[in-house]
Every structure is written in structure tokens, then in C-alpha cells.
Amino acid sequence: MSLQANQTIANLDIRCAELGRELANVQNMDEKVLNEALAVLEEQGLYAMFLYIQARHREIAGPFKSQCVNLLRDIFGDTLPREALEAAKQLADDLDNLLFARDLLRNALSDARYHLKAKGG
């Protein structure tokens, strides 16, 4: 597959770092929340992580989920639902997409921890 003249390639590492910065700037975000979200993502997957954040950290759940889904929609397209749990379900229809999404969010959550540490949070 070759690129057309008007196509660009997104630097996904930068996109993950940007999401990490956005997540670190969410009001009431702390490293413990990010560590827990990362652990659930690693052990149980994308859907479980969104559900965990919604259940245990309601005060940050809205911005956390919407910012994560915004990144996923940028990459997987606007057909991905805006609601996090529905987006995770749709991504689960294709294992490659699901694993790729998990890797992207894992990188973003790791970057968010570094952003918090850098600002002393």
C-alpha cells in the first residue's frame, strides 16, 4: 500500500503523548488513578478499564473516557461510537484493532504518569 500525495501519516507516539498530557491535566487526576487504570487495561482489557474508571473514579470518568475515545476516533474513524463502552465493544469486533487500541492507550496512560510526575502531581 502506498500513500497518495494528499495523505499524511500521523505520529502516533506524539498523539499518545498529547493524550497523556490531557489526561494528566484532568482535574483531580492523580498517579494512583492512572496506575489502577493501566493495571485494569493490562489485565482485563479496554472495556473493563472504561467500566472501572466509571465505577471507581466518577469525578474524572467523563473527561477520561471522552479524551481516550477522541484519540481512538481520530485513528479508527468517526464510525467509532463516542461513548467509551460502545467504542470498546465495536473495537472488540476486530482483534487487531482491539489490541492496537489497547497499546495506544497503554502508551498514553504511561505518558500521563510522566506528565503528572513532571508537574509534581
- What does the pLDDT look like over 93-109, one tens digit per residue? 999 999 999 999 999 99
Residue 1 counted as domain residue: no
Domain range spanning residue 88? 14-118
Residue 82 counted as domain residue: yes
What does the pLDDT look like over 6-50, one tens digit per residue? 555 578 999 999 999 999 999 999 999 999 999 999 999 999 999
Residue 21 counted as domain residue: yes
Query: In the predicted model, is pLDDT for residue 4 greater than 90?
Result: no
The CATH number covering residue 98 comes to: 1.10.520
Residue 36 counted as domain residue: yes
User: What pLDDT is stored for residue 2 in this prediction?
Assistant: 41
Residue 78 counted as domain residue: yes
Residue 9 counted as domain residue: no
How many domains does the chain contain in total? 1
Side-chain-side CA neighbours of residue 32 (13 Å): 3
In which band, very low, low, confident or very high, does the pLDDT at 3 lie, cut at 50, 70 and 90? very low
CB 68 within 8 A of CB 102: no
User: What pLDDT is stored for residue 1 in this prediction?
Assistant: 40
Residue 3 counted as domain residue: no
Q: Is the dihedral of CA 115, 58, 33, 46 positive or negative?
A: negative
Query: In the predicted model, is pLDDT for residue 118 greater than 70?
Result: yes
Residue 53 counted as domain residue: yes
